[in-house]
Amino acid sequence: MASFQLSDGTSIPWVAWGNGTGQAKKDAIESGKLALESGLRHIDTAQLYDNEKETGIAIEKDSVSRGEVYVTSKISGLQSQEENPVPLDEIRRSVQGSLDRLGFVPDLYLIHNPFVAPPGQLKAFWKVLEELKDEGKLKSIGVSNFRPQDLKAVLHGAKHKPVVNQLEYHPYTLAHLEPVLETHAKHNILTTSYGPLTPLLRHPTGGPLKPILHRIASRLTKKYGEDIDAAAVLLLWLKARQVAAITASGNPDRIKNLAKIFKSNWELDPEEVEEITTVGKTIHFRFYTVHMEKDFPLPSLPRE
Ligand SMILES: NC(=O)c1ccc[n+]([C@@H]2O[C@H](COP(=O)([O-])OP(=O)(O)OC[C@H]3O[C@@H](n4cnc5c(N)ncnc54)[C@H](OP(=O)(O)O)[C@@H]3O)[C@@H](O)[C@H]2O)c1
């Protein structure tokens, strides 16, 4: 099964089923169990989703062993993420809360966004996660929604670099993310993509990519003899760009379909990857704006 290497020597499956949004969040046990039964091997949760416990139960209830499932969780801050950062002397207790609810140490633990750290204390915050890793209380550590200035703060003299930065990443965020992605390349930080279906599901019209994604979906459907939709094309585009996909569904058919995509050998042509990338860069549209659009200038591109 396809996975990507992380800079700390571990690897991460290329598709995650997240339980932070929609029906997946509400049905974290039943949907999580179905995701695992169907063959998915990565669950993405967080303190904020209030279902770390259910994540642990979903894994426990399934016949796969814990060792076969990759789990990501996040320290999210108290209640509202922006207004209630976690004080430095509360981090250990907060992390232990995640571990207790899950019932195990997750494979990957992230800072949910830079505002989880008290103002000006991001570096000190990261150091505590580094210590927890050194003590064997955490495994891989990474970040989420980190802008160039946040990455710079934690990378400076870091003992352990973040192995991933989980971002809203899809073709319509590419232009804005350029400086972030340059830092990722320089420091071997894997990009993981949440909200990957935004161009199809949340952009008001689908924008210029919509007909292109549908055209490619038709070609793949004919080539592989399977029903491959435009959403799958976006996920396969991520895979081609070595980006791990964090998607979600509470719909049983879609969960099974996602597992099928995860296990498939379906591939876009290099020209198709290039076309999606080039057209994506002509507009800027992001759904989750609260963190990444703060003090990080937007490209002067249209939304549509
Ligand atoms: N780090 C962060 O700050 C952050 C922020 C947001 C999300 N996340 C993580 O990323 C996960 C995914 O986020 P997201 O929901 O924004 O991802 P997404 O993949 O863009 O959207 C998933 C949504 O699309 C629907 N869907 C799935 N497959 C579909 C298909 N083939 N056609 C049409 N609709 C489809 C699902 O609804 P149905 O249930 O109806 O299938 C689900 O509500 C979250 O659950 C969470 O784990 C992290």
Respond yes or no: is residue 49 known to be catalytic: yes
Atom of ligand 1 nearest to the CA of 230: 31
Which residue puts its alpha carbon closest to atom 26 of ligand 1?
249
User: 62 falls in which pLDDT band (50, 70, 90)?
Assistant: confident
- The answer on pLDDT for 164 being more than 60 is yes
pLDDT the model gives residue 126: 98
- Check whether 42 is labelled as a binding-site residue: no
Cβ of residue 73 lying under 6 Å from some atom of ligand 1: no
Cβ of residue 55 lying under 6 Å from some atom of ligand 1: no
Atom of ligand 1 nearest to the CA of 18: 47
- The answer on pLDDT for 125 being more than 70 is yes
Residue 161 alpha carbon to ligand 1 centre in Å? 27
Cβ of residue 144 lying under 6 Å from some atom of ligand 1: yes
- The answer on pLDDT for 81 being more than 70 is no
C-beta separation of 199 from 211 below 8 A: no
* Residue 90, token pair as written in the block: 């509360």
Cβ of residue 238 lying under 6 Å from some atom of ligand 1: no
- The answer on pLDDT for 277 being more than 60 is yes
Residue 256 alpha carbon to ligand 1 centre in Å? 15
**Cα separation, 226 vs 25, whole angstroms:** 29
Cβ of residue 202 lying under 6 Å from some atom of ligand 1: no
Give Cα 80 to chain centroid, integer Å. 20
Span 43-47, average pLDDT: 97
DSSP letters, the chain, are: --EEE-TTS-EEESEEEE-SSHHHHHTHHHHHHHHHHHT--EEE--GGGT-HHHHHHHHHHSSS-GGG-EEEEEE--SSSTTT-PPPGGGHHHHHHHHHHHHTS--SEEEESSGGGSPTT-HHHHHHHHHHHHHTTS-SEEEEES--HHHHHHHHTT-SS--SEEEEE-SGGGHHHHHHHHHHHHHHTPEEEEESTTHHHHTSSS-TTHHHHHHHHHHHHHHHHTS---HHHHHHHHHHHTT-EEEE----HHHHHHHHHHHH------HHHHHHHHHHHTT----S--TTTTSSSPPPS----
Tens of pLDDT, residues 13-34: 999 999 999 999 989 999 999 9
Span 184-191, average pLDDT: 98
Cβ of residue 197 lying under 6 Å from some atom of ligand 1: yes
Q: Which of 254, 262, 287, 290 is the best mutation target for the ligand 1 pocket, counting ligand atoms within 8 Å of the beta carbon and taking the most?
A: 254
Which residue puts its alpha carbon closest to atom 35 of ligand 1?
249
> Residue 167 phi/psi, 5° resolution?
-135, 155
pLDDT the model gives residue 84: 81
Residue 196 alpha carbon to ligand 1 centre in Å? 7
User: 66 falls in which pLDDT band (50, 70, 90)?
Assistant: confident
**Cα separation, 275 vs 288, whole angstroms:** 25
Residue 249 alpha carbon to ligand 1 centre in Å? 6
Which domains does the chain carry? 3-280 (3.20.20.100)
pLDDT the model gives residue 61: 80
